[in-house]
Chains A and B, each alone.
Chain A
């Protein structure tokens, strides 16, 4: 049987495509078995039910999986035009670049490698560091949660693995860039494991070859923060404006550990992100920032859960969205407090600024509390730009666009103040400024 396929040959996300994918892979037996189990789940599950609360406001009818093909590992990828922003002017401890979900370059400062840090291609690490990966890979993501989770678990092409040993501190950021070509698919997976007392900063960004590129991203992210560890994770999603983006993102935070997680989304045509943080050790702390800026007919959905399973944990979710044109955002947040998780301090907030009469923001905060001694608060605001502010700015010599840009920047300032990395603040500020339309 020939294993070399021409790009013109149609390979689909079907049984034949899956079999061909397995044939091309060099995976350990346990990975292959996990893929087969996930494929069975994918074939068993139907597409998400539009009556399901998580998908109620998401119209998937325009999504055609048959338009996309699994990335072929035997073909070289070359996507030089996908922009990179988060690493500008930053001294890095390491970097990984992937194209269409396949890692094409990986570096790590030897000083950290000598301390036992592992940072590189997930496909390589499942072979070379199975003892570190096996315990955590897809441990937090239920492959039966929906068809996209199952497909991603079955056919993840490659991805990024970071392991930081006990008490090792990486004092420079690690950078990951996922690039995708027009009409391509990216089924990459990210796994970050910080052992007890470890510390790291990860800057992840995704972008397409052209601003209007089509594509299919079906990703997974798992963050494991051990006891007393500190993780700062930044994700900037800037896929092309015709890209479908599906992702399951998870974090588990151990005793007295901290996670500061920033999510920024400006790209894609449609996004459905399921984000969960589980506070599993006493005194765990999570800080999550979300920045969404939409235009045209973009539709971004974020379903978040902050789950308190231990005592004395704090969680703080702040999502802010600015919407233009006919774009739409859906944010559905839930604080879950398990029985016995006393002394919980949970907070969630979603603010939306609408720059157009036709934009729409759905905000659905929720609480599910099974413990007695807790403090949980949530809130949401949605509103238009204050015309008086614009008038004032114009009276001081600014154009309407400059005025709106200032107001938008000010709206996001609360989140920028919570981001401690200069390059991230500047990259997000620039990405937001680019999005503001010229208004009459």
Chain B
């Protein structure tokens, strides 16, 4: 695995690495917020579980390539960066840093 490993502080446990299946998004609650995790080519990425178009959730969306597709209106977000890739979303969603510590996934939640 070419993963983003480390031991920085301010990271919060998110899930076991074994819970992540390649190319299958996982929506989970971390510190009272919902995020989407996904493993792409062996690297784990995390974005806020909010579609910036309608403010709804992305967790049920389909993963196409590196993009998570909003299940309601089809907006696409790059899981690696949070960037909005097509209309109707015009702004990216938050992207959070991920650390793998052994068999556990930790995330550092951004506020802005």
Q: Which A residues form the contact surface with B (CB < 8 A)?
A: 50, 56-57, 59, 61-62, 297, 326, 328, 358, 360, 362
Q: Which residues of B contact A59 (CB under 8 A)?
A: 34, 56-57
23 sampled A-B residue pairs with Cβ under 8 A: A50-B56, A50-B57, A56-B54, A56-B56, A57-B54, A57-B55, A57-B56, A59-B34, A59-B56, A59-B57, A61-B29, A61-B34, A61-B57, A62-B29, A62-B32, A62-B34, A297-B33, A326-B111, A326-B112, A328-B55, A358-B112, A360-B55, A362-B55
Fill in one digit per residue for B44-55: 1 if any A CB lies within 8 Å of its CB, else 0.
000000000011
Q: Which residue of A lies closest to B28 (CB)?
A: A61
How far apart are B54's CB and chain A's nearest CB, in angstroms? 7
Q: Which residues of A contact B111 (CB under 8 A)?
A: 326
Interface residues of B in 13-55 (CB under 8 A from A): 29, 32-34, 54-55
Q: Which residues of B contact A358 (CB under 8 A)?
A: 112
How far apart are B71's CB and chain A's nearest CB, in angstroms? 10
Docked pose: A59 CA to B56 CA in angstroms: 7
Docked pose: A62 CA to B55 CA in angstroms: 15
Docked pose: A360 CA to B111 CA in angstroms: 15
Docked pose: A57 CA to B72 CA in angstroms: 12
How far apart are B72's CB and chain A's nearest CB, in angstroms? 8
How far apart are B80's CB and chain A's nearest CB, in angstroms? 21
Q: Which residues of B contact A326 (CB under 8 A)?
A: 111-112
Docked pose: A362 CA to B32 CA in angstroms: 22
Docked pose: A61 CA to B32 CA in angstroms: 10
Q: Which residues of A contact B54 (CB under 8 A)?
A: 56-57
How far apart are B111's CB and chain A's nearest CB, in angstroms? 7
How far apart are A321's CB and chain B's nearest CB, in angstroms? 15
Q: Which residues of A contact B56 (CB under 8 A)?
A: 50, 56-57, 59
Q: Which residues of A contact B55 (CB under 8 A)?
A: 57, 328, 360, 362
7 A-B pairs with least C-beta separation? A57-B55, A360-B55, A62-B32, A59-B57, A61-B34, A328-B55, A358-B112
